Amino acid sequence: MTNPRALRVLFVCLVCIGLGQSMLFAILPPAARALGISPFRISTIFATSASIWVFVSPWWGRKSDVWGRRPVILIGLLGFGLSMALLATTIALGSSGLLSAVAVYPLLIGSRCVFALVGSGTGPASQAYIADRTSAEERAAGLALVTAAVGLGETLGPAMGAALATLGLVAPIYFSAALAGASATVIWWRLPEDGPVRPAGSAVPPRLGYADRRVAPFLAVGASLQAVRATTVITLALFLQDTFSLPAERAAQRAGIGFVAVAAAGLFAQLILVQRLRPRARTMILSGVPLMVLAFALLVLGRNFGVYLAALSCLGLGLGLVRPGSAAGASLAVSAEEQGAVAGLLGGLAVLGNVFGPMLGTTLYGLSPRAPYMLNGGLMSAVLLFVLTSRRFRDMRS
């Protein structure tokens, strides 16, 4: 596998991105509401950015194939830092009355869109960096570290954000911007780069698209994972509150425990199981998808919090196995000159699942609290059948 020091540098920088993202998701909604922005408009801040991300992430992935991985990682980190600084400044100026309420909303959208337009390059370039430096047998374990790093940051972010918020509501967002700048500095000095993957003047591979037959099955699995995860995250607190007739504070506490179970199980899968056992990508997918089917069956049929915790742990384990497994499958299906392109497609579809999953989940929740989990269980059952019968999965190289 790649230079261990380089891997540690990249891991820490991706943790910082996860930290910043999770702190923003916790702080921006209440901050925007205090400025008079409705919950629906708050959701459009993220939805607009995500819609742009779907198209821009593949573009940055292709650029990393030409420019090299490190320049695109650097550009993405700086874009993320700039976006966070603009968001924090807009909130601060709006809170102090220096910006009108009418101006705050479009400025928040524009600030977040900076992340989509520029910051979306870090993820695919990082994934491609690992793919460049791992063999087929090591690919899944290497890519598991990418998703584990972001997941670790997302797990630690809410607690760190709560601590920093004692200094002011925008302090965690400014801190995230500073972290991004520090990470870019470390990447510049400490991450080795061998130069562009495709030398100047060489033939350009055909443009890789979402419908490419080599990678479409893996992209479909990846999008399904993100959709069911996002649906679960957005409805879990409501589900626990309505199932056990809890006050809002108790529901939030139990949901927090559930999210910790998902995150801890996912990190265990990615940092312990995958790194120690080094399973094949196909094995990871075939092991993880049934765990996710079981998770949603338990959420539908269970009647006590212990069963729900077991379900969420199964969900975390499944995600921790299938996400890097499907990413590795897509990576192994294309040439070395297309690693950035395929990583960009994976990043774009992941965000798309995060946009439409919550919308569908909350709509179904209005019909029945268990309806979103019934849909998720049905979707993952279909994915399992697809994986078992698809020739592309049977013929995976590793």
CA distances from 223 to 169, 228, 327, 379, 380 (A): 33, 9, 11, 11, 11
Whether the pLDDT of residue 257 is over 70: the answer is yes
The pLDDT score that the predictor gives to residue 74 is 94
Least confident segment among 4-8, 126-130, 181-185 = 4-8
Least confident segment among 2-6, 29-33, 187-191, 197-201 = 197-201
Instruction: Answer for the pair 122, 76: CB distance below 8 angstroms, yes or no.
Output: yes
The pLDDT score that the predictor gives to residue 364 is 84
Whether the pLDDT of residue 248 is over 80: the answer is no
Higher pLDDT, 9 or 93: 93
Which helix (H) or strand (E) segment holds residue 189: the answer is helix 171-190
Residue 59, Cβ neighbours under 10 Å: how many? 15
* Percent with pLDDT over 70 in the chain: 93
Q: What integer best gives the mean pLDDT of the chain?
A: 86
| Mean pLDDT along residues 214-243 | 86
The pLDDT score that the predictor gives to residue 311 is 96
Higher pLDDT, 156 or 39: 156
Domain ranges of the chain: 4-190, 216-394
The pLDDT score that the predictor gives to residue 73 is 94
| Mean pLDDT along residues 99-122 | 90
Q: Single out the residue of 74, 140, 53 nearest to residue 345, CA to CA.
A: 53
DSSP secondary structure code for residue 272 in this structure:
I
Buried b (16+ CB within 10 A) or exposed e, 1-13: ebeeebbebbbbb
The pLDDT score that the predictor gives to residue 27 is 79
- Contacts of 189 by beta carbon, 8 Å cutoff, 6+ apart: none
Question: Which token pair is 224?
Answer: 């399904």
Q: Single out the residue of 124, 131, 54, 142 nearest to residue 341, CA to CA.
A: 124
Whether the pLDDT of residue 158 is over 80: the answer is no
Amino acid at 201: G
The pLDDT score that the predictor gives to residue 316 is 94
The pLDDT score that the predictor gives to residue 312 is 95
Counting runs of H as helices and runs of E as strands, what totals does the chain give?
Answer: 15, 0
Higher pLDDT, 341 or 253: 341
The pLDDT score that the predictor gives to residue 386 is 92
Buried b (16+ CB within 10 A) or exposed e, 66-83: bbbbbbbbbbbbbbbbbb
Pick the CATH number of 216-394 from 1.20.1260.10, 1.20.1730.10, 1.10.3720.10, 1.20.1250.20: 1.20.1250.20
Whether the pLDDT of residue 362 is over 80: the answer is no
Whether the pLDDT of residue 54 is over 60: the answer is yes
The pLDDT score that the predictor gives to residue 203 is 61
Higher pLDDT, 213 or 296: 296
The pLDDT score that the predictor gives to residue 109 is 93
| Mean pLDDT along residues 213-233 | 87
Instruction: Answer for the pair 143, 331: CB distance below 8 angstroms, yes or no.
Output: yes
Q: How far apart are CA 269 and CA 287, in angstroms?
A: 11
Q: How far apart are CA 252 and CA 324, in angstroms?
A: 30
Instruction: Answer for the pair 36, 101: CB distance below 8 angstroms, yes or no.
Output: yes
The pLDDT score that the predictor gives to residue 39 is 65
For 78-89, the pLDDT digits (tens) are: 999 999 999 999
The pLDDT score that the predictor gives to residue 379 is 93
Whether the pLDDT of residue 391 is over 70: the answer is yes
Higher pLDDT, 310 or 200: 310
Given CATH 1.20.1250.20, say whether it is the number of domain 4-190: yes
In CATH terms, are 4-190 and 216-394 the same topology? yes
For 93-107, the pLDDT digits (tens) are: 998 888 887 889 999
The pLDDT score that the predictor gives to residue 19 is 87
Whether the pLDDT of residue 1 is over 60: the answer is no
Q: Single out the residue of 191, 217, 232 nearest to residue 345, CA to CA.
A: 217
